[in-house]
């Protein structure tokens, strides 16, 4: 029987990497939702911490470089799931992201652990991929306070719980069970909660309310991407 554990942020990821065979990074608003939308377009995504980090990589790969949300104009793509709906099929994208990319870089340093990007819209696909392994971790990425300390984000906890909810016949840690319970209790009102979360309000203030709508497309995708060779690539199942 597979065992599932859930934890928060970089410290939680470091703990899980010492004991799991596979894990999902859950950064619902918006990194892992971007990965999911890109997967639907057959686009491989290279995560980087900042746009400056991605310039040389994008040039070397011949990939498209996503801009910062505030710098993106009409037709540009950014760390905005809604903007990625316009991506041409195929090819690759370099995606700057402070949270999801940081966790991805840490996880990539432990190559024996399979790393997936999980969110609400691909929760069943992520659960299916993870269920191939016996020891499973799910990391709620969270956000950052101004002092760079972890800011727990309800969208990531609910995203983690949604993936756990899609698993059958698994043994859950107390944290995994609690995340699942939170998701099940929140599901009837999930859209409102996501929009009224601190992260959702921040996006609305920046005129990116549609990103929350994309993120709450529950089970909207049957694809999941795995981190392979520095890129999140669609897993063919």
- φ/ψ of residue 81, rounded to 5: -55, -35
Q: Which residues contact 52 (CB under 8 A, 6 or more apart)?
A: none
Q: Please tell me the predicted confidence (pLDDT) of residue 21.
A: 98
List beta partners, residue 95: 47
pLDDT for 68:
83
- Give me the pLDDT at residue 74, please: 82
What pTM was computed for the model? 0.96
CATH number at residue 142: 3.90.1560.10
Helices 154-165/174-186 angle, 10° precision = 100
pLDDT of residue 70: 80
Cα–Cα distances in angstroms (integers) from residue 123 to residues 101, 107, 118, 212, in the given order: 19, 20, 6, 16
Please report the DSSP string for 131-156 in residue order.
TTSSEEEEEE--EE-TTS-EE--HHH
Which residues in the chain land under pLDDT 70?
51, 237
Domain span holding position 102 = 2-234
Mark residue 197 as left, alpha or beta (left: phi above 0; alpha: psi -120 to 50; beta: remaining).
beta
What is the structure's pLDDT at 53? 79
Q: Per the structure, how many domains does the chain have? A: 1
């Amino acid at each position: 029987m597979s065992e599932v554990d859930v934890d928060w942020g970089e410290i939680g990821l470091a703990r899980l990497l010492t004991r799991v065979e596979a894990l999902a990074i859950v950064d619902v608003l918006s990194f892992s939702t971007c990965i999911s939308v890109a997967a639907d377009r057959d686009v491989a995504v290279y995560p980087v911490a900042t746009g400056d980090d991605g310039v040389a990589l994008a040039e070397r790969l011949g990939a498209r470089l996503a801009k910062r949300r505030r710098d993106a104009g009409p037709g540009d793509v950014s760390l905005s799931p809604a903007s990625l709906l316009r991506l041409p099929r195929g090819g690759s994208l370099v995606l700057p992201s402070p949270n999801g990319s940081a966790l991805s870089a840490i996880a990539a340093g432990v190559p024996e652990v399979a790393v997936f990007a999980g969110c609400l819209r691909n929760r069943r696909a992520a659960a299916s991929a993870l269920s191939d392994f016996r020891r499973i971790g799910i990391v709620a990425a969270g956000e950052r306070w101004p002092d760079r300390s972890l800011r727990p984000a309800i969208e990531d906890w609910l995203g983690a719980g949604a993936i756990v909810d899609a698993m059958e016949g698994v043994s859950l840690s107390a944290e995994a069970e609690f995340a699942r319970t939170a998701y099940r209790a929140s599901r009837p009102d999930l859209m409102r909660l996501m929009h009224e979360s601190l992260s959702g309000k921040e996006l609305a203030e920046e005129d990116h309310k549609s990103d929350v709508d994309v993120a709450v497309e529950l089970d909207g995708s049957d694809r999941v991407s795995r981190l392979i060779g520095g890129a999140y690539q669609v897993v063919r199942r």
